[in-house]
Amino acid sequence: MTSTHWLFGDQLGPGFLDGADGEGPARDAPVVMIESRDVFRRRRFHRAKAHLILSAMRHRAAELGDRVTYVRADTYREGLRQAVGGGPVTVHHPTSRAALALVRSLDGVTVLPPRGFLLRQDDFRGWAEAQRGLRMESFYRHVRRDHALLMDGGEPAGGTWNLDHENREQPPPGRRTLGVAAPYRPREDAVDEEVRRDLDRWERDGDVSFVGRDGPRRFPASRREARSALRRFLSHRLADFGAYEDAMLADDEVMSHSLLSSSLNLGLLDPVECVEGAEAAWRAGEAPLNSVEGFVRQIAGWREYVWQLYWYFGEDYRTSNALGHTGSLPDWWNELDADAVSARCVATVLRQVRDTGWTHHIPRLMVLGSYALQRGWDPAAVTDWFHRCFVDGYDWVMLPNVVGMSQYADGGRMTTKPYTSGGAYIDRMSDLCRPCPYRPDRRVGADACPFTAGYWNFLHRHRGRLEQNARISRAVHGLDRLKDLSALLEQERERGEGPP
Ligand SMILES: Cc1cc2nc3c(=O)[nH]c(=O)nc-3n(C[C@H](O)[C@H](O)[C@H](O)COP(=O)(O)OP(=O)(O)OC[C@H]3O[C@@H](n4cnc5c(N)ncnc54)[C@H](O)[C@@H]3O)c2cc1C
Ligand code: SF4
């Protein structure tokens, strides 16, 4: 009896059905897809994210036509019973621990290897066990060698592995936008309208509640759209990707970023086609090496590393809280109430999240994540917030990025020091500070920058731990030179959790 193949909502590209390397579903196997309402009932997702995922699933179902049984059910378990009874089922390894535990608990379900990543988990384990400490840079070189990516024989193309030092430019002075070609944006269709009507109805029935604004859809929902987005990025935007990768401009939220994360994480694009496309652009002389290496590093380095660490670190990683942070997220933050905020950086970025469900990596790390870290908010609640509010957020990608990289809750298993800064960094890397009512160089007083004051307050709170860390101990000792430290600590106690 042919097994039915189950496609999760983030397994939507052709690679999840092609049976390549003999480890996929049977050729022409019937397919089941399940829309579980409980997923949306359990958490308050950004509406644009719910819209994107459902639109992408329904677009895939329309492509598969009669081959697919598309089930709407409360739970996956119930949906599967409805679709296949007790018949045999195959499924590619899901991307979350909860979904993996579920499929493993079901009778008659065979779990096939994961798709959509470059390395197998046992290859990563072999690599990790041969290391003295886990560092992304060594992992990235391993992947480059293993996949012959940007390599000339045994050497890195261009003679160097890492061009990061060329990719930390401040934004060009006097410019409100970077001036690169606009990214691909999809056109909505009848499927999008149907999804929006369903979301309206769920909200009206009081069944489900969302946060954020939705529409028009800004990210690809089908393989065809995702391929167009990739092509446009490679031919019109990749060349400028590198230099300003870490910069922020209030009026140019996208700059030269690729906007491909949601397509990669829905399975609509495979990382191999992205990095090979970038390398081909460099070899054809269409993009400089710093941009191409920077982009390849994001996908073959960071994305892959994060995926592997999610599984490698184990289930307990999710509850890590090395700094003992227990603060709750305030309502204005939970509601994405950008209009209540005066601090221009937080207001600008929160507005981007409210309106699009996306910002690039520096606003995530050095504005949103840094603000939460300085205030001592519970890392599990911060992770949940990022997961719900970002169109590209999934359990596997959020845990290492938020618990590890952004909140340092793992005590340094993923990064060597906490990522946080005073206002001077934001001022250097953006045009956000000049019109802000706060001053980045002021730490005490009515115009004290919340990041500058928050930074010193954070170092003071964790002095005992952080002065042991060679990468940050000098900054910690700077506390001894602050004549106004007591006033600053008093001010931060009084500020409370209202919008900055
Ligand atoms: C606190 C925090 C939370 C984040 N949450 C997510 C998330 O939920 N989902 C997500 O895909 N990325 C996440 N990232 C990583 C990164 O911010 C986004 O991948 C990126 O901003 C997406 O925009 P882009 O596609 O234009 O990326 P680009 O800047 O164009 O980068 C190219 C690609 O590299 C990959 N990438 C780069 N860095 C990472 C990383 N750290 N982890 C995983 N992939 C990476 C993405 O697939 C991205 O599309 C997070 C980073 C931080 C600091
Ligand atoms: S002054 Fe401080 S709060 Fe205002 S934009 Fe700059 S970093 Fe943000």
Check whether 20 has a pLDDT greater than 80. Answer: no
Give helix 76-84 / helix 97-105 axis angle, nearest 10°. Answer: 40
Distance of CA 102 to the CA centre of its chain: 24
- pLDDT the model gives residue 252: 96
- pLDDT the model gives residue 197: 97
Q: What is the pTM of this model?
A: 0.97
Which atom of ligand 2 lies at the shortest distance from residue 344's CA? 5
- pLDDT the model gives residue 259: 98
Residue 265, ligand 1, Cβ within 6 A = yes
Ligand 1 centre and the CA of 68: distance in Å?
31
pLDDT digits (tens, 9 = 90+) for 270-328: 999 999 999 999 999 999 999 999 999 999 999 999 999 999 999 999 999 999 999 99
Residue pair 435/344 in contact (Cβ under 8 Å)? The answer is yes
Residue of the CA atom closest to atom 7 of ligand 2 = 423
Residue pair 394/95 in contact (Cβ under 8 Å)? The answer is yes
pLDDT digits (tens, 9 = 90+) for 206-219: 989 999 999 899 99
Q: Give CA–CA dist 233/229, Å, rounded.
A: 6
Ligand 2 site: residues with CB under 6 angstroms?
343-345, 423, 426-427, 432-433, 436, 438-440, 449-451
How much is the average pLDDT of 319-339? 97
- pLDDT the model gives residue 100: 98
**Residue type at 136 in one-letter notation:** M
Check whether 1 has a pLDDT greater than 80. Answer: no
**Residue type at 208 in one-letter notation:** V
pLDDT digits (tens, 9 = 90+) for 413-468: 999 999 999 999 999 999 999 999 999 999 999 999 999 999 999 999 999 999 99
Residue of the CA atom closest to atom 8 of ligand 2 = 345
